[in-house]
Structure 1
Amino acid sequence: MNELKIYLNKFIHFTENEMEIFTSLFSEMELKKDEYFAKEGEFSVKLAFISEGVMRAFFRNKSGAEYNKTFFTPSNFIAAYSSITTKQKNLINIQCLTDCKILVANFDKITSLYNDYPKIERLSRIFAEYKFAIKEKREIELVTLEATERYEIFKKEHPNLENLINQYHIASYLGITPTQLSRIRAKK
């Protein structure tokens, strides 16, 4: 829980009471490699903070091909955001690529604190804006940069992740085939 508190203090200065109220909503949970935190077609209600491990958010097209949208590594919040905010079914899957330790809270319990604790609402807004900016940056990179440039950005943003997950997951995230990724890596 201490790691969560340290992370939160980077964004909002909570009083001791506010921090305790917010973090008391979270409980520890362990997920094994290949387990799902969220599945497409289901409803999500949970927000989590990853303290150990690696997860991926991905979607499948109608023929079953998978496309990695993002990776979650320690000290990040995880959620099927569109589902928890709109109360619609998940459009994505969130799956563990390694064994993971997370802190989990019910999102509705967090939002129920907004009126009495404006800093918690402010924190949610800050994270939503931050996630939007990351999403926009990634979308622009996918259509404007060459695969080699996207791979270099991936390595800077996710140091050592290559050593923890399968290469085909990285290729999918970069929008290329595993063979293309092997060629790019061979040139380095």
Structure 2
Amino acid sequence: MTDFKSFFTQLCPIEEDNWRAFEKLFKPKQLKKGEYFIEAGEQARDIAFLEEGIIRAFYRNEKAQEYNKHFFLNPCFIGGYTSLITKQTNYINQEALSDCRLLVANYIEILELYEKAPDIERGARILAEQFFVQKEQREVEIVLLDAEERYLKFQKEFPQLEQQIAQYHIASYLGISPTQLSRIRRKLAGK
């Protein structure tokens, strides 16, 4: 398992004093399966490093239909990024699909640290760039790949996840119905 320091310092070199100041901002937190890190309607204030577990990010419309946007697997950062940056209401729910272990920090305190620790800010910028690339790739996949191709890509990107979460979550992520997912799985099993 990749620890917090290893994960962040692989983005760019960090001075030891700056790392200690950054690390002090993060406090341990547990989420039980089914609990939320953040819900739609709240304003985000915190960011977290996911040490252990699985979290899904999803939208819920007025008819209570849910659409999975992303799955977060450790190690990674989670949070309501758009809400943090814009100081607007959050629209995306982040729910634990398993028991999770997090390190949580107040985003404002991280921003304040950037003034004294440009290497931390550089690491955060690189992380934001990686998130942007992932988001754009996901948008392209939804538009250009058919359902079977998206499923095969999902299997490659999240090789163990299929055995750990409900099939309807995967179908929602792929933008298809659970029935369509079953058909695709049967077809591929027959090949």
CA distance in 1, matches of 2:169, 2:17: 41
Deviation at 1:122, TM superposition (A): 1.1
Aligned to 2:184: 184
Aligned to 2:114: 114
Aligned to 1:95: 95
Aligned to 1:138: 138
**Helix, strand or coil at the partner of 1:98:** coil
CA distance in 2, matches of 1:156, 1:182: 18
Cα-to-partner distance string for 1:14-41 (whole Å, 9 max, x where unaligned): 1211111111111111000000000000
Aligned to 2:105: 105
CA RMSD between the two structures: 1.0
CA distance in 1, matches of 2:70, 2:179: 20
Aligned residues: 187
CA distance in 1, matches of 2:18, 2:113: 10
Aligned to 2:72: 72
Aligned to 1:152: 152
Find out whether 1:50 has 2:79 as its counterpart. Answer: no
CA distance in 1, matches of 2:129, 2:29: 27
Aligned to 2:5: 5
Aligned to 1:59: 59
More displaced, 132-141 or 16-25? 16-25
CA distance in 1, matches of 2:125, 2:6: 19
Aligned to 1:18: 18
Deviation at 1:44, TM superposition (A): 1.0
Unaligned runs of 5+ in 2: none
State the AA in 2 paired with 1:78. Answer: I
**Residues 15 and 119, structure 2, Cα contact 8 Å, conserved in 1:** no
Residue identity (%): 50
Task: Name segments (4+ residues, structure 1) moved above 2 Å.
Answer: none
Unaligned runs of 5+ in 1: none
State the AA in 2 paired with 1:54. Answer: I
Cα-to-partner distance string for 1:87-107 (whole Å, 9 max, x where unaligned): 111111000011111111111
Deviation at 1:77, TM superposition (A): 0.3
Deviation at 1:66, TM superposition (A): 0.4
CA distance in 1, matches of 2:98, 2:44: 21
CA distance in 1, matches of 2:103, 2:116: 23
TM-score between the two structures when normalised by the length of structure 1: 0.97
Deviation at 1:123, TM superposition (A): 1.4
CA distance in 2, matches of 1:59, 1:157: 21
More displaced, 164-173 or 17-26? 17-26
